[in-house]
Chain A
Amino acid sequence: MQVTVAHLKRGQRGIITDVSSIHIPLKLLEMGCLPGNFVELVQLAHFSDPMYLNINGTHLAIRKETALHILIEIL
């Protein structure tokens, strides 16, 4: 099974290995969601959605459906 951002637990960190660029808006890439950058799960809302992340020093929230398309390696 592929590990994605959606699998992170609160406080866990990972390194982004691949993003499927069809499903990820350019804006998210520009905010630092790129292979090689770290990602940390800061907080979850109800039903784990949306997810409050720290990607490469930028704090942002995305929905779970988007998080499923960001592949990571959990640290």
Chain B
Amino acid sequence: MSKQINVALIGNPNTGKTSVFNALTGLNQKVGNYPGITVEKKEGICKLPRGVKAHIIDLPGTYSLNASSLDENVVIELLLNKNDKDFPDVAVVVSDVENLKRNLLLFTQIKDLEIPTILVINMADRMSYKGITLDIPYLEEHLNTKIALVSTRKKNGITELKELITNYKELSTAPCMNASAIDPEYFLNLQKAFPNQLLYKLWLVITQDVNFGKTDRNEIDAVAEFKTKSKADLKRLQQKETIKRYQFINNTLKEGQTIDLNTAKDLRIKLDRILTHKIWGYVIFFLILLTIFQAIYDWSSVPMDFIDSSFAALSEWTKNSLPAGAFTSLLAEGIIPGLGGIVIFIPQIAFLFLFISVLEESGYMSRVVFLMDRGMRRFGLSGKSVVPLISGTACAIPAIMATRNIESWKERLITILVTPFTTCSARLPVYLIIISLVIPDGRFLGLGYQAMTLMLLYLIGFGAALVSAMLLNKILKIKSKTFFVVEMPNYKLPLFKNVVLTVIEKTKSFVFGAGKIILAISIVLWFLASYGPGEEFNNAEEIIKTEYADQNLSAEEIHEHVASQKLEHSFLGITGHAIEPAIRPLGYDWKIGIALVSSFAAREVFVGTLATIYSVGSDDEETIKNRMAGEVNPILGGPLFTFASGISLLLFYAFAMQCMSTLAIVQRETNSWKWPLLQLVIMSAFAYIIALIAFQLLK
């Protein structure tokens, strides 16, 4: 068996590093986490010429090896740890041809670690457009490396890159800069103390004050005596180092790169004049959001109706074709409707992820950050909080992880605490089904009432996030340095392959993640609903027959009465009735109560739960929606899902903190149980009060 080559893909954000990764690995990739931390780890396998294989890691984007966040720290930790099983045999630094100067900074740092390094100059198709010419042999000679000119858009240069990776042993490991030049005297002492260590590596270990992990702990302790220099001194030296690196880069590029500004065209300026305009910028942003919601609602209704009726038919078919018994009934009444409750939302979730990834890939998201910073600061947030708040509409978990690039701890903490208010995709199933039940189907100015209600719910979510941020900003007494740097990348047409891979990957993890919980809960619910203690459950048939003895009921009607008698006196019914007094003032019956309680595991369980409860004991082929519409309010009579109870439920789901996974992530990111518990209690109590007020006012 041939040995796999370990390859690490490293590069600044916005250089198309992920496109290169996708081009190398195709579908041979998997996404996981680094052990113990929630940083995403992307790895894949790439087939190289002559039967060799490469194991490729796509490291988080970083501007330099001076880490300032958990994500960036992953990069330096891997590069400093020769014993890591993923330690690269060869580093591939991905750079953007339009930003070569800045991208080379990271390249020189990695070269100085004496790791064999290949330089990928990506987006080479933009060169003529930007009037850039490169002298590749000159650059290869002076940077002591091999260069691959790549265009993932035009699919050029990937074969050459694979060839270079295969022959990585021929790469030079000579450094670009002599680390001693930073401060000769200090480094001389350092070298005397640790004659066997690489100077630049020592320097990195000394200057990293954000050591989240366990990089060569002994080494760090050993050099502790060299931390005698003050923080300010070290920073001055780092500045000096940066200047020296840029001098080297400028000298190299002076000969190796020419830019003809006359032929350079700039689309960016024209677009930014409108997209970041003081008025039009906001108008366009709002229109984009509006389009997204309208699209999610309208475009996905066809596949959703199809999935809904298919699952109803499948359940019916199972019941009729398999021999009757507990297993068939578990399958037809528990598992299939439960799964249907999740599969139905794939179209919408896929659309949502599609839009978010297009906004990110195109470079527009940074413009939103720029536009919103000033406004967000009023609420104690940062412009960068917009990204978590928007991606929170997909799922709060990645959104909370996306807060890591917010520099100020206070702004970051507030963002983490308020993000769960944004309407995540798990709320979508609940919203959609209730909206379709209680909101009329009309249109106003071309926009459906139902779509507008959905939009309004999203706005309520954002509003709640902003108001609570403002309160937290007043209450929390945290002093932290605030600064804010955000790169404004070039506008790019999103690459189809990248977008599709993101959508597939995210939708898959949503479906499987939520699917597991939903499957488990539907099975438990089915058992609880199908068995019960005491006479009233076990003798249901006798009881009904005597009760209705004088009425001439058809066999079918008797069967229905028996089924509902059984459900009411099953374990599930008993539990539901026990909590009913607490939720009756909100307009809910005990069945909704069960769905509400199981939703505290994860919100999307709601529809699946109701589907399971309603299908137990019923014979007909019915969609979830029709069953819900047919429910009768046990006290007031009339339909259970009225405008009042519907709005009350919508508001409850808008505000309540019903997601165990989010609580777990908040605990990890804030490193404390205090914050997630506060979220759980305050958000849910608030949801109860608002739902109560809404129902009492509207009924």
Contact = CB atoms under 8 A, between A and B. Distances in A.
Interface of A: 21-22, 25-32, 34-35, 42-43, 45-47, 49-50, 52, 56-63, 65-66
Contacts of B242: 26, 29-30, 34
Interface stretch (B446-454, B482-490, B563-571, B645-653): B482-490
Nearest to A24: B483
A30 B105 CA distance: 8
A27 B374 CA distance: 21
B246 A34 contact: yes
Contacts of A57: 98-99, 101-102
Contacts, number: 112
Contacts of A47: 374
Contacts of B98: 57
The 9 closest A-B pairs by CB, nearest first: A59-B488, A61-B370, A30-B64, A63-B484, A43-B276, A50-B373, A60-B487, A61-B486, A46-B374
A21 B236 CA distance: 7
A58 B99 contact: yes
Contacts of B85: none
Contacts of B273: 43
Contact of B374 (A28, A31, A49): A49
A61 B489 CA distance: 11
B693 interface: no
Interface residues of B, number: 41
B63 interface: yes
A63 B489 contact: no
A63 B484 CA distance: 6
B370 A26 contact: no
B96 to A, nearest CB: 10
Given A52-B272, A63-B483, A21 B235 contact: yes
A59 B68 CA distance: 20
Contacts of B373: 45, 49-50, 61, 63
A52 B383 CA distance: 13
Nearest to B372: A45
Interface string B61-103: 0011010100000000000000000000000000000110110
A26 B485 contact: no
20 contacts: A26-B242, A27-B68, A27-B485, A29-B238, A29-B242, A30-B102, A30-B242, A31-B485, A32-B102, A34-B239, A45-B370, A45-B373, A50-B486, A58-B487, A59-B489, A59-B490, A61-B485, A62-B483, A65-B482, A66-B483
A66 B383 CA distance: 15
Contacts of B238: 26, 29
B102 A31 contact: yes
B369 interface: yes
B290 interface: no
A60 B488 contact: yes
B191 to A, nearest CB: 24
Contacts of A32: 101-102, 246
A11 B246 CA distance: 25
B63 A27 contact: yes
Given A31-B63, A43-B276, A45-B373, 6 more contacts: A25-B407, A25-B485, A31-B102, A43-B272, A45-B374, A52-B488
B375 A46 contact: yes
Contacts of A26: 64, 66, 68, 235, 238-239, 242
A56 B369 contact: no
B63 A45 contact: no
B239 A29 contact: yes
B475 interface: no
A30 B63 contact: yes
B541 to A, nearest CB: 71
A62 B384 CA distance: 12
Contact of A52 (B64, B235, B276, B407): B276
A50 B243 contact: no
Contacts of B483: 25, 28, 62-63, 65-66
Contacts of A52: 272, 276, 370, 488
Contacts of A30: 63-64, 66, 102, 105, 242
B73 to A, nearest CB: 14
Interface in B566-605: none
Contacts of A25: 68, 407, 483, 485
A59 to B, nearest CB: 4
Nearest to B268: A59
A52 B371 CA distance: 10
B373 to A, nearest CB: 5
A31 B484 contact: no
Contacts of B484: 50, 61-63, 66
B63 A61 contact: no
A60 B561 CA distance: 68
Contacts of B383: 50, 61
A52 B367 CA distance: 10
